[in-house]
Amino acid sequence: MITGALLGISILLSGAIFGFFYAWVCSTMWGLDQADPRVAIAAMQAMNASVRNAVFFPAFFLTPVALAVSALVLGIQRRARSAIWFATACAVYLALGLLLTAAVNVPMNEALAMTNIPDDIEAARQIWNDYSARWQFWNQVRTVASGTALLCATMGIIQLNR
């Protein structure tokens, strides 16, 4: 029962962070790219400031913890194949989700936060275009990684039934 709950939490958190990154890919950034760049910069500054909250924390920071604990518990229970899937999910998300975000997206967000929004639309467009293209590339990497982690964890559960 505890193992099932732990695996469920791992899947839930993995799905939550994948969905968070995916939403940026397929709607948020496309919408901001269509807006006045001064509005896009201000909106992104506000969203980046608001994401540091207790609702976001579990999905972002506790996903690798839940995946690692799941892998450990499954290993102790001698369910090696499932444990390997969960350990792989943990490694993929940790390296290409959490650490990538800390190394690339967060510094970009912090630099944008310190940017004064120019009145000149062309100056704002240059700032936004430089930021958006690079930020979106790295967000797509972490989206694929978190989706891969979710898939690996799912495979770990499927493996339990074999």
Q: Tokens for 51?
A: 């994401």
Residues written for the chain: 162
**Hey, is 56 helix, strand or coil?**
helix
Residues 31-45 have pLDDT tens digits of: 999 999 999 999 999
Could you report the per-residue pLDDT of 136-151, keeping only the tens digit for each? Answer: 999 999 999 999 999 9
pTM of the model: 0.95
Instruction: Identify whether the C-beta of residue 160 lies closer than 8 Å to the C-beta of residue 79.
Output: yes
pLDDT at 161: 81
The reported pLDDT for the residue numbered 61 is 98
Distance in angstroms (rounded) separating the CA atoms of residues 92 and 98: 9
Number of domains forming the structure of the chain: 1
Averaged pLDDT score across all residues of the chain: 97
Place of tokens 């999910």: 89
Structure tokens at 161: 């039934």
13, 57 contact by CB (below 8 A)? no
pLDDT digits (tens, 9 = 90+) for 48-107: 999 989 999 999 999 999 999 999 999 999 999 999 999 999 999 999 999 999 999 999
Query: Domain containing 99: what range?
Result: 2-160
Residue with tokens 């968070």: 20
The helix (run of H) or strand (run of E) holding residue 73 is: helix 63-76
Distance in angstroms (rounded) separating the CA atoms of residues 73 and 60 = 21
Helix (H, G, I), strand (E, B) or coil at 78: coil
Largest CA-CA distance found in the chain, in angstroms, rounded: 63
User: Among candidates 17, 138, 99, 106, which has minimal Cα distance to 66?
Assistant: 17
